[in-house]
Amino acid sequence: MGTMAEHERDERDALRPFHRRFFQRDPRSVARELLGCWLWTETIEGLTGGVIVETEAYLAEGDSACHAARGETRGNRAMFGPSGHAYVYVIHARHCFNIVTEGIGIGSAVLIRALEPRWGCSLMEQRRGRTNAKELTSGPARLCEALGITRDHDGRDLLAPGTTDLGLAKPPSHQRLELGPILSTPRIGVTSAHELEYRYVLAGSRYLSRSLTAKPRKQ
């Protein structure tokens, strides 16, 4: 019988890769369709990862909460790069992980807000200093700490052949989307554009960064 780590790697190997064109679209579409997909990291410590259950879209135009609204800077340069690359920024000394969308020079992205932890939970607990599964990856900074994502990953091509330390993939074709339906709500923690409902969640997940208090819109 194989070990748990071997089982997790076998499960990862069954996932389907993304094509670049998936990310060369409106970030709202990408944010919705990333729900139910997998994000992981693998280091010398081990494999950690899970299923994406919450995202937020940030648009290049008409969205004052988007980092691109202030133009390109050294800190957000990756956001203006190729689609399918990582954009990792720091806020209050904590990291947040985004995936660049559309194309070079545009400046749009999807923030990954929460995961359902599936792989390497004991390692995530060590990194987070928490044992409650609901507190491991229920928030953008929490999931980065749990997965060991830092600014070193900023600008990383998530779709490059042979990339194993930071990965993103679709579930197997036979695996149905669980924890639905998909709902949209206003984004969390933004200081402007509060009215835009660009936060997308798998409504049945217990790992959301914030519960659905207001009545959300079904997608």
* The 3-state secondary structure of 34-65, one letter per residue: HCCCEEEEEECCEEEEEEEEEEEEECCCCCCC
Q: Quick one: pLDDT at residue 173? A: 76
Cα gap 116→62, rounded to integer Å: 31
pLDDT of residue 219: 63
pLDDT band at 1 (very low <50, low <70, confident <90, very high): very low
Tokens representing residue 48 in the block: 């950690």
User: Considering only the top CATH level, what class is 23-218?
Assistant: alpha beta
Choose between 194 and 127: higher pLDDT.
127
Q: 106: which 2 tokens?
A: 């545009």
The CA distances from residue 182 to 90, 147, 204, in Å, are 28, 25, 9
Q: What is the pLDDT of residue 6?
A: 81
In the chain, where the domains are located: 23-218
CB-side exposure of 24: number of CA atoms within 13 Å?
Answer: 8
pLDDT band at 10 (very low <50, low <70, confident <90, very high): confident
* Structure confidence by residue, pLDDT tens digits, 99-138: 999 999 999 999 999 999 999 999 999 999 999 999 999 9
Strands 38-43 and 46-58, bridge-based pairing: antiparallel
Q: Which two tokens stand for residue 193?
A: 């554009």
